[in-house]
């Protein structure tokens, strides 16, 4: 099912923000490039404006014969839009103009004419990835654009269409925006899914790449600094940032251009010494969060999103126009959450923390369930837990039998109260990600033996005149600690 199959532009309402909710690979851009003409034949290309969230999207989509990249120095086209001149033969032959959000803002702020209505001759404006209006705070004067959109809709003279795969953020802010939504898709269109969802932490990502993720991987980071941290720990990795970032390099330009033209991450890049360097893992900032199309033959099998909110996860996973092997969500410290704790993204990331801590097991998962196969019970949590040292300290102090002990009676573990105490300590130190009801003494003992380097014996003797089976922790080898093993658990709501 594609957008062209379900969206009827006769249902658009000029008094509302018309919304197409559709996942990646469902033909949103194809719909704009080809179906607007068929459904709205009275509107010409020069009267349609297509706004994209990233310059990379503009470069990629403008390769279509029916879409033309906007040139900010093309005064003729802006003068026509503002009603200052008639449409020329050149403009008549051009495709739909595509530009980034900052370009339309520049026109609204700086390209006004006395006595003229700015963008008067535009009949249809399509905002691709329209969640950008609320998510990308770094774009200057975004509030001015939102006010202009609202005032334009109140005038009921233009058709305003927004497209996104993440409806939640638009719904969250619509009241503050002062607009009603006219959703043109009865149900969100989802075409591709991930076969396995893994929830983890930022510090665990290098381990997962090395041991759990087969095939090539693409990672989305919060900042360039975070990209560097991962690159230092991941062999054959490469960082790509926005062309506007001060850290952008000629090597990055090679990779960026290859992605735009080939819709694949290149297997190599050429360094300053003219040597080919392998790229198994592409580490990027939000420059690749949207708009980029990746073909399956490029070999990207796994997506790692170091943002735990629904918007970044859904958008970044959607770069693949095919089913992923693994989608990894890695909790990362994001400073802006401290400044805007009530924002949609901060609230979504808080829901992830609650999900990880078993405080709310469905709220966060239900935001992204449509892009993963299976259900809640199939989620895999893998994280390096730094608190196991507290558990080890507790066991070694109270239950580890000293080497020179002649009387081990004080170290026998058989009383229910002692077993419950050990279980409580395992829960407090998050030794295992699981429901509290899933913590059993047997499971904790298995973790101690298989993950923490303990040797534990099971013995039987008379205790209080009764034949009693008990456990003794007889040895500890810290070199055998496998702190990844002890924190890996497939969630199971049935409590098996």
Q: How many CB atoms lie within 10 A of CB 120?
A: 15
pLDDT at res. 438: 61
Residues 313-350, buried b or exposed e (16+ Cβ, 10 A)? bbbbbbbbbeebbbbbbbbbebeeeeeeeebbbbbbbb
Q: How is residue 112 annotated by DSSP?
A: -
CA–CA separation, 366 and 429 (whole Å): 27
Distances (CA, A) of 233 to 126, 219, 236: 42, 13, 10
Percentage with pLDDT > 70 across the chain: 93
So what's the pLDDT on residue 491? 42
Give 146-188 pLDDT, tens digit per residue. Answer: 999 999 999 999 999 999 988 899 999 998 999 999 999 988 7
Task: Give the pLDDT mean for 444-455.
Answer: 85
**CATH numeric code, 194-382:** 3.40.50.300
Report d(CA 119, CA 25) in Å as an integer: 31
Instruction: Render pLDDT for 100-153 as a digit per residue (tens, 0 to 9).
Output: 999 999 999 999 988 899 999 999 999 999 999 998 888 999 999 999 999 999
Name residue 40's beta-bridge partners: none
Tokens of 67: 């879409």
Q: What is the pLDDT of residues 239-265, one digit of tens each?
A: 999 988 999 999 999 999 999 899 999
pLDDT for the residue numbered 293 = 85
CA dist., res. 34 & res. 280, Å (int): 36
Cα–Cα distance, 356 to 21 (Å, whole number): 28
State the pLDDT confidence band at 398, using cuts at 50, 70 and 90.
Answer: very high
> Which pair of tokens denotes residue 496?
């098996």
d(CA 352, CA 282): 25
Which position has the token pair 């901060």? 346
Reading the block at residue 321, the tokens are: 């126009």
Same fold, 3-183 and 194-382: yes
What is the rounded distance in angstroms from the CA atom of residue 312 to the CA atom of residue 331? 12
Instruction: Name the CATH topology of 3-183.
Output: Rossmann fold (3.40.50)
**Residue 410 tokens, joined:** 């004080």
Q: What is the pLDDT of residue 386?
A: 61
State the pLDDT at residue 489: 47
Yes or no: say if 382 and 201 are a contact pair by the CB < 8 Å rule.
no
- Nearest CA-CA partner of 302 in 219, 235, 240, 379: 219
The pTM assigned to this predicted structure is 0.71
**pLDDT the model gives residue 158:** 97
Q: How far apart are CA 117 and CA 112, in angstroms?
A: 8
Where do the structural domains in the chain lie, given as residue ranges?
A: 3-183, 194-382, 388-490
Q: How confident is the model at residue 384 (pLDDT cuts 50, 70, 90)?
A: low
Percent of the chain predicted with pLDDT > 90: 57
Report the DSSP pairing between strands 268-270 and 276-278.
antiparallel
Cα separation values, 28 from 61, 165, 198, 430, Å? 11, 10, 29, 44
Q: What is the pLDDT of residue 453?
A: 84
pLDDT at 360: 67
Instruction: Report, in this order, helix, strand and coil percent for the chain, each rounded to 5.
Output: 40, 20, 40
Query: What value does the mean pLDDT take over residues 56-82?
Result: 88
Specify the pLDDT at position 490: 46
Mean pLDDT of 429-442: 67
Residue 496: band (very low, low, confident or very high) from pLDDT cuts 50, 70, 90? very low
What would the two tokens of residue 454 be?
């303990």
Q: Which residue has the higher pLDDT, 300 or 379?
A: 300
């Amino acid at each position: 099912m594609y957008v062209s199959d379900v969206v009827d532009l006769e249902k658009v309402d000029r008094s509302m923000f018309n919304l197409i909710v559709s996942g990646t690979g469902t033909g949103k851009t194809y719909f704009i490039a080809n179906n607007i003409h068929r459904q709205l034949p009275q509107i010409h290309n020069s009267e349609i404006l297509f706004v994209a969230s990233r310059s990379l999207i503009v470069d990629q989509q403008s390769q279509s014969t029916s879409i033309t990249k906007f040139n900010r120095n093309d005064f003729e086209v802006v003068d026509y839009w503002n009603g200052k001149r008639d449409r020329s033969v050149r403009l008549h032959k051009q495709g739909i103009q595509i530009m980034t959000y900052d370009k339309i803002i520049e026109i609204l702020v700086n390209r006004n004419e006395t006595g003229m209505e700015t963008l008067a001759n535009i009949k249809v404006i399509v905002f691709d990835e329209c969640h950008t209006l609320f998510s990308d705070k770094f774009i200057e004067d975004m509030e001015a654009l939102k006010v202009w959109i609202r005032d334009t809709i109140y005038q009921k003279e233009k058709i305003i269409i927004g497209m996104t795969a993440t409806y939640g953020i638009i719904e969250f802010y619509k009241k503050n925006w002062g607009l009603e939504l006219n959703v043109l898709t009865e149900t969100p269109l989802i075409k591709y899914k991930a076969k396995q969802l893994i929830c983890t932490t930022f510090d665990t990502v290098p381990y997962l790449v090395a041991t759990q993720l087969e095939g090539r991987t693409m990672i989305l980071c919060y900042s360039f600094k975070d990209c560097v941290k991962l690159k230092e720990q991941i062999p054959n990795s490469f960082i790509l940032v926005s062309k506007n970032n001060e850290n952008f390099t000629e090597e990055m330009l090679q990779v960026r251009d290859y992605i735009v033209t080939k819709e694949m991450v290149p297997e190599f890049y050429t360094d300053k010494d003219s040597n080919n360097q392998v790229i198994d893992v592409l580490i990027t900032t939000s420059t690749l969060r949207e708009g980029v199309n990746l073909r399956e033959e490029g070999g990207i099998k796994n997506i790692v999103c170091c943002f735990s909110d629904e918007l970044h996860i859904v958008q970044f996973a959607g770069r693949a126009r095919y089913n992923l092997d693994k989608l990894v969500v890695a909790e990362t410290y994001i400073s802006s959450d401290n400044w805007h704790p009530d924002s949609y993204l901060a609230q979504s990331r808080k829901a992830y923390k609650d999900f990880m801590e078993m405080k709310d097991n469905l709220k966060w998962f239900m935001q992204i369930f449509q892009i993963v196969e299976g259900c809640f019970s199939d989620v895999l949590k893998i994280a390096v837990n730094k608190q196991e040292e507290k558990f080890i300290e507790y066991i070694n102090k109270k239950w580890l039998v000293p080497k020179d002990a002649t009387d081990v009676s004080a170290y026998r573990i058989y009383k229910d109260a002692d077993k419950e105490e050990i279980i409580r300590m395992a829960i407090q130190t998050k030794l295992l990600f699981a429901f509290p009801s899933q913590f059993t003494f047997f499971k904790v003992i298995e973790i101690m033996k298989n993950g923490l380097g303990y040797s534990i014996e099971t013995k039987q003797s008379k205790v209080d005149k009764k034949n009693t089976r008990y456990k003794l922790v007889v040895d500890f080898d810290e070199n055998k600690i496998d702190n990844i093993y002890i924190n890996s658990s497939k969630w199971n709501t049935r409590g098996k």
